[in-house]
Structure 1
């Protein structure tokens, strides 16, 4: 018979082997046992460990420095409201906007006429060789209303055009060009106000400078658009082209053979040809830039002519392209199918013309439009045009679909004489907020003294067509007005330029900025009819939530 030890070994062989192994392990040399139980780490493993902890330390150090030691750059704060006053001055119907001091907030440029500049600058009319009073250009910070720069530029100003910065390294492409009534022609830096060039304009004292100052494609090969100035002397309109980079005249003056008497427009046909368009009594007159260039220089240029347009002009008298049944008041380039179309406003009708063959796409008759129309969006990404039909107590605001001419929205909105024009701002939903000046409460206005009647600013958005917000009331004489997106997607504001109604009676000139979002909570809700059951506060909250976007 087996003894107990043999029996246990047979039943639990693994246990028995394990026991022997432990016994044998105890008999091994001490150094040998330690080397097998604790393997020595390799040199490569140690290097990897050191590299890991060193990288971790560097990352934590960088995060600490960026978060706690190096301060974040301060974002420029933009005040919701500011005002700048000039005493004993007059002003011009001109406002331009752009980032002058490069703080990503739009700044304001305007013109005024005074004996001296503001108190913080010392450049006077005499410093530039002008008698007093003279015309100043001023650039004001859109953030807080402080004067960035200002300087006397002319005895009096006939035309001004400020080119927004397009090429940061090209100072000339970012300039304000001014034509003085006394024949001066000057370009000043958009950013500093310093003179880039100055020349006489070579127009006689009897010539009437026509607006606006037109830009044509580069002629002299300096990568800067050149300038076209039109002037009327007697019944003849003549044109002169100047280098945009130096101001020197290219060639000599040349007559256009037309007797235009309104605002000129530079139109580009479907073939890329440039034409100067002018209202001529009850007609639309035209002249090719190529023809003018050849006439004033005596040589061929790189400009194009459109065969279709040349055929129309050759078969007309006095360069007339289109006969109108009434006087032409406004002419605008508008986006069309494959190019520019023309929006033509006469004293009796408003019509959209095909930009190539000048055939009417639609006509809205029996109108009396005395103001330049304003483009905007009533439906998402669909252009609409706002027109002011009639004047005084008969004035009516019409929003038309630009492609069809159908009326999308209308509102009787009486106005005061000399009221500012309408404008629009694109909102984040691809529509537009429209801003109109007028007098919604006509009965109360008629009962007031005319000197006490105030211009009222109204805001409209197509998502609530039965609601109008009255944002502000202004009793001063409004010279210029615009609604502006001062910061992308941040806040919209309007800029108001007020001053004396006559240039012969100097007085207080003021430039004011008001943030639209700050005016909405205190605005008056006007209900135009049934369609909105929301409370007044709910309506204000809805307008306060509007977000704005830049035009593409």
Structure 2
């Protein structure tokens, strides 16, 4: 056991040392003697200290004053809603215009005519503020032979050339991009345009930097009749895929390049695919598919897979051996499928099955094809497409257009029918949120992320029902979060016991993120 003195020394060691010092004033440590004998700081040291603090004060004062004298550059105010109208406009006028509009407030950044009778348009959004103009441009292909690149930032012409396609050919969509092959070394993707004349499909390559044609037009030797797709196999070989009759045709970019230039390129060919093509008629990869309606590249674990939608089924194909991973049969897909995330970080695909009035929304697990969620949602023929935005919880918010009050058009006069925009999130599977009602003819629609992590909005293009008749054309932006408080909560069945206001609050708290 410690006595009281030892215990006191352990608890208050410094106090104990002070006590010892007082008891033995003659035995001070040498360091303490040195401190007591340290000389007073010199005048030079004091001057240096004063000069340092005076300089620091001066710098802070200058920064403080300049922050009020020199104003910060004006930042455009962000408006939750804006509308831009074009009176007496149309979608089939002799001259087409490209307009860049600020997502913040709807102000026109630039506007210019580009071509007559536009066939294809492809705009590359700038990924960063320092993106170069060539990689951030709008490419416009006119049916009359014009071929123009317009700067995304300024609207100025980067290059303009006549194309090699005459007026009697049908230009196929979309405008495809291939790796830089023209030898300029700038890394800008080059452009591949496919056209159909009679039953024959031909292709032409153009430099993405200058617009000049690379070689001459070359035939693919296929009779494609649908939308083309550029697919990359597991070996890194690039193939152009085209629906042809009731089959899927393919042609390697390497073969096309060699055919139109007469020289070898640095492209690859896949031995497995070449073996399939060499043993088929008219370069067919798959036979007896039915009418191919849509063809999509899907991110897979080892590379790209293929989602094939025919008149009879929806099939996910392995991107290398083209073997089916799963098949959803007896479907009538109304529109091109879209991708999203029903479970965190797990891709799902949205299928609109039906003929508009009897349409059903199906969310399928992309890895298995199993149905995760389904909901009848009638719509009008030619209605707007669905879309999705990823949320901060690594799921997606889905946006669907349907009929107001989910009623049949048999009971209503079509001109009086309203389109309604519905929002769905997987965390509330028994709820649809009706955000807006639109009676105008909807030409185009998309949900966008204008400010990462917080500002989700939808942009709507409305105009005359007939493209040949001029009328009011409007571009409208609505911030999603501003529409939620006034939205209508639709309960799809027995589900959440929360109040409607609590459900709106949950949707209001959603935050969004980029998928990049």
Query: TM exceeds 0.5?
Result: yes
Cα gap change, 1:44 to 1:206, in 2 (>3 Å): same
Cα gap change, 1:70 to 1:234, in 2 (>3 Å): same
Cα gap change, 1:14 to 1:64, in 2 (>3 Å): closer
Cα gap change, 1:146 to 1:40, in 2 (>3 Å): closer
Cα gap change, 1:239 to 1:51, in 2 (>3 Å): same
Contact 1:160 1:179 in 2 (8 A): yes
Map 1:312-391 → 2, pairs under 5 A: 312-391=276-355
Structure 1 CA distance for aligned equivalents of residues 7 and 334 of structure 2: 122
Structure 2 CA distance for aligned equivalents of residues 446 and 47 of structure 1: 93
1:281 deviates by: 2.1
Task: Name the SS of the counterpart of 1:154 in structure 2.
Answer: strand
Structure 2 CA distance for aligned equivalents of residues 494 and 456 of structure 1: 13
Contact 1:467 1:528 in 2 (8 A): yes
1:136 deviates by: 0.6
1:499 deviates by: 1.3
Question: 1:504-551, CA deviations, whole angstroms, 9 ceiling, x for partnerless residues?
Answer: 211111111011111111111000011101111111111111111111
1:191 deviates by: 1.0
Deviates more, 1:302-311 or 1:68-77: 68-77
**Residue in 1 that maps onto 2:109:** 148
Deviates more, 1:23-32 or 1:180-189: 23-32
Contact 1:284 1:324 in 2 (8 A): no
Contact 2:357 2:408 in 1 (8 A): no
1:310 deviates by: 0.3
1:4 deviates by: 40
Contact 1:347 1:370 in 2 (8 A): no
Question: 1:401-440, CA deviations, whole angstroms, 9 ceiling, x for partnerless residues?
Answer: 1111111100000110110000000111111000000126
1:146 deviates by: 1.2
Question: 1:250-292, CA deviations, whole angstroms, 9 ceiling, x for partnerless residues?
Answer: 1111111111111100001111111000011211110000000
- Structure 1 runs not aligned, ≥5 long: 89-128
Contact 1:134 1:156 in 2 (8 A): yes
1:443 deviates by: 3.5
Contact 2:21 2:28 in 1 (8 A): no
Map 1:14-413 → 2, pairs under 5 A: 41-43=41-43, 45-47=45-47, 49-51=49-51, 53-54=53-54, 57-58=57-58, 60-61=60-61, 64-65=64-65, 74-88=74-88, 133-166=94-127, 170-219=132-181, 220-413=184-377
Contact 2:404 2:419 in 1 (8 A): no
Cα gap change, 1:34 to 1:466, in 2 (>3 Å): closer
Contact 1:329 1:370 in 2 (8 A): no
Deviates more, 1:499-508 or 1:43-52: 43-52
Cα gap change, 1:360 to 1:49, in 2 (>3 Å): same
Contact 2:91 2:468 in 1 (8 A): no
RMSD: 7.4
Structure 2 CA distance for aligned equivalents of residues 449 and 82 of structure 1: 30
Deviates more, 1:407-416 or 1:35-44: 35-44
Structure 1 CA distance for aligned equivalents of residues 443 and 11 of structure 2: 113
**Residue in 2 that maps onto 1:103:** none
TM-score (norm 2): 0.88
Structure 1 CA distance for aligned equivalents of residues 66 and 177 of structure 2: 48
Cα gap change, 1:546 to 1:48, in 2 (>3 Å): same
Cα gap change, 1:15 to 1:75, in 2 (>3 Å): closer
Deviates more, 1:523-532 or 1:213-222: 213-222
Question: 1:309-354, CA deviations, whole angstroms, 9 ceiling, x for partnerless residues?
Answer: 0000001111111124321100001100121111111111111111
Structure 2 CA distance for aligned equivalents of residues 512 and 245 of structure 1: 33
Question: 1:11-40, CA deviations, whole angstroms, 9 ceiling, x for partnerless residues?
Answer: 999999999999999999999999999975
Task: Name the SS of the counterpart of 1:394 in structure 2.
Answer: coil
Contact 1:434 1:461 in 2 (8 A): yes
Question: 1:221-278, CA deviations, whole angstroms, 9 ceiling, x for partnerless residues?
Answer: 3432111000001000000101111111111111111111111000011111110000
1:61 deviates by: 3.2
Structure 2 CA distance for aligned equivalents of residues 308 and 3 of structure 1: 90
Task: Name the SS of the counterpart of 1:543 in structure 2.
Answer: helix
Structure 2 CA distance for aligned equivalents of residues 12 and 163 of structure 1: 73
Structure 1 CA distance for aligned equivalents of residues 319 and 126 of structure 2: 29
Cα gap change, 1:288 to 1:15, in 2 (>3 Å): closer
Contact 1:484 1:495 in 2 (8 A): yes
TM-score (norm 1): 0.83
Task: Name the SS of the counterpart of 1:237 in structure 2.
Answer: strand
Structure 2 CA distance for aligned equivalents of residues 15 and 186 of structure 1: 87
Map 1:462-541 → 2, pairs under 5 A: 462-541=426-505
Contact 1:130 1:155 in 2 (8 A): no
Cα gap change, 1:458 to 1:46, in 2 (>3 Å): same
Question: 1:124-169, CA deviations, whole angstroms, 9 ceiling, x for partnerless residues?
Answer: xxxxx99974111111111111111111111110001112225766
Task: Name the SS of the counterpart of 1:441 in structure 2.
Answer: helix
Structure 2 CA distance for aligned equivalents of residues 398 and 17 of structure 1: 81
